[in-house]
Amino acid sequence: MNLKALKIPEVKIIEPQVFEDERGRFFESFNHRKFEEMLNKKINFVQDNHSISKKNVIRGLHFQQYHPQGKLVRVVSGEIFDVAVDLRKDSKTYGQWVGEYLSALNKKQLWIPEGFAHGFLAMSDNVDVLYKTTEYWVPHDEKCILWNDETLGIEWPISELSKTIVSRKDSMGQAFLAI
């Protein structure tokens, strides 16, 4: 596995080593020991989630205020544009975002540590996203920042914003400056 830091260095791309021949492909999608060694940090995943979306669905920007979750995100079918927003008020990158394309083809995974909001845009007709979390989902603690918040200025790769599909709950998210 290769590890690459993004513009916000705590957010990482993980690329597995893929073995391919005439039979198909094989790769190790997760190895706890290697993952902790690469991050130089103890990680305890407690929950796996599976999100299924159709093209132009935007999910997020979600975070838990008092029970923050680290997330390891990967796509097993289709493609997404995945976004992490730094919510750590004492960070040099507070309020900044990073985005990365994750797909079944590129097999990249995105590590989003605790203290970040997370969201994604489904780029293909059907998308299956799997992600591990370091904290359980606590419904009354979940918060949402508007996906199109002007302060954040996320550059979602969609030409017609009117084609986006956003849940009622996500469309009622807070402004970044209000969190």
Catalytically active residues are 62, 131
Cα(87)–Cα(93) distance, integer angstroms: 9
110: left (phi over 0), alpha (psi -120 to 50) or beta: beta
Count of Cβ atoms closer than 10 Å to residue 141 Cβ: 15
Transcribe 51-77 into DSSP letters.
Answer: EEEETTEEEEEEEESSS---EEEEEEE
The alpha carbon torsion through 131, 134, 138, 144 (nearest 10 deg) reads -60
Q: Which of 137, 153, 157 is nearest to 145 (CA)?
A: 153
The two three-digit tokens of residue 61, written as one number: 């920007």
Give the chain's radius of gyration (CA, Å): 16
